[in-house]
A and B are shown apart, each in its own frame.
Chain A
Amino acid sequence: MASDLNTQLLKGTLQGCLLILLSHQKLYGYAISEALSTFGFADIPKGTIYPLLLTMEKKQLLKSERQPSPDGPTRKYYVITAAGKQARDEFIAQWSTLTNNVATLMQKEDFDES
């Protein structure tokens, strides 16, 4: 049950996380998965990011370009678009509201219990 909730939460937030990551620099698939692991998303099966990246590309939140990677071979790099930046800002605002609301609710629960 806890795992299901975690998965649902991740599904809803992963797109926003990818937008934030890619607004700092353009990255390719494996580099994105490494970055996600660095920020605590190590448990996500990285296969899930590929359909999501394609969907985001279809929605024109990202665009892709092929260029040589630091390891040598040409890779597909993802670059955030103007629409992507706007979606990122909306996500950050919504996330802030949500976390504030949840924090307030949790504080009220603590208050009631005491």
Chain B
Amino acid sequence: MKADAFSQQNLVLRQQLTPENRSYYEDIIVYVRGRSFFKNDQVVEQSLLEILQDLIDAQNHGQSAADYFGHEPAVTAKALLDAIPRQLDAFILFNLKLFIFMLLITSIPNLVSPKVPLDYGRILIIAVVAILLAWLVLWVFGTLAFIKFKRPQKIALGIGAGLLYAGLIGGSIFIRTPFKAHLPELGTLIGLFSLLLVGIVLLIRLRKHDLGTKMLIGWLLFYVVLGIATRLPGISTVLNRPVNFGNYKWLFYVALVLAALIGGGGTWWYLRRHSD
């Protein structure tokens, strides 16, 4: 079984734990996953599933998770991590895939307008920072896993993280580098068509419940379709024409704010419903 299959099974079985036991176990999960850099992912997930199955057994025999696993889960979780073998090649391969994925995410929206040169320096910087940030966030979550925060502290942390994230996203808009290139039209068009096909196949093949990834692919495909349309004879002249809102320019800004609110609110709602 692969790591992904173990984690999917974990997600399903976790529902059997009582809220108290589940909270105890999820602290272990957050710690182990947040600190498992360079570790063999398959062994990590297999061990977490093994512990979960045993906690369910203990629960069925009237034992709480803390009574079974111990009242110092942080110490035991650290010992568990220390015992898991390192696997540097898998870590490098995973980050390489993540890097290519981030390159796609950051470069596709930049291909919409055929007249604007592609700032590949900017794209590289954003991709690298996003990966480093993702690992940093995971590490921070792992470090804080066993600290019991009060509600105001949780809210303050959430707001702080949100502001940091918004600052980084906002800041990325102003990044400009001298490393720019005009891509050949025909090559870009072929590339965009290929991406469209790959995206459609991925959407069809993805699991039913993987809505988050589907939404991300859908968002990227929107830009791919726009990129194709702005390069096709006939439609391109319409799409590349400057839009004059006249006196109704404010409506455009209202629509932008509404779109941001709907997008942000929708993501928040989705994450709350799928907290795992």
Q: Which A residues fall within an 8 A CB radius of B?
A: 28-30, 33, 45-48, 50-52, 54-55, 58, 66, 71, 73, 75-76
Counting chain B CB atoms within 10 Å of each CB, which of A45, A55, A66, A73 scores highest? A45
The answer to whether A29 touches B83, judged by C-beta atoms less than 8 angstroms apart, is no
A45-B72 contact in complex given A54-B84, A66-B1, C-beta closer than 8 Å? yes
Interface residues on B, range: 20 to 34
- In the complex, A3 Cα to B166 Cα: how many Å? 51
- In the complex, A71 Cα to B79 Cα: how many Å? 29
Which A residue's beta carbon lies closest to that of B55?
A30
- In the complex, A54 Cα to B36 Cα: how many Å? 15
The answer to whether B53 touches A51, judged by C-beta atoms less than 8 angstroms apart, is no
Chain A nearest Cβ from B17, distance in angstroms: 14
The answer to whether A47 touches B76, judged by C-beta atoms less than 8 angstroms apart, is yes
* A52 partner residues in chain B, CB cutoff 8 A: 83
- In the complex, A30 Cα to B57 Cα: how many Å? 7
- In the complex, A33 Cα to B57 Cα: how many Å? 11
The 7 A-B residue pairs with the shortest CB-CB distance, nearest first, are: A45-B70, A47-B76, A54-B83, A51-B79, A47-B69, A30-B54, A47-B70
Which B residue's beta carbon lies closest to that of A76?
B50
The answer to whether B54 touches A48, judged by C-beta atoms less than 8 angstroms apart, is no
Counting chain A CB atoms within 10 Å of each CB, which of B51, B54, B58, B82 scores highest? B54
- In the complex, A112 Cα to B47 Cα: how many Å? 52
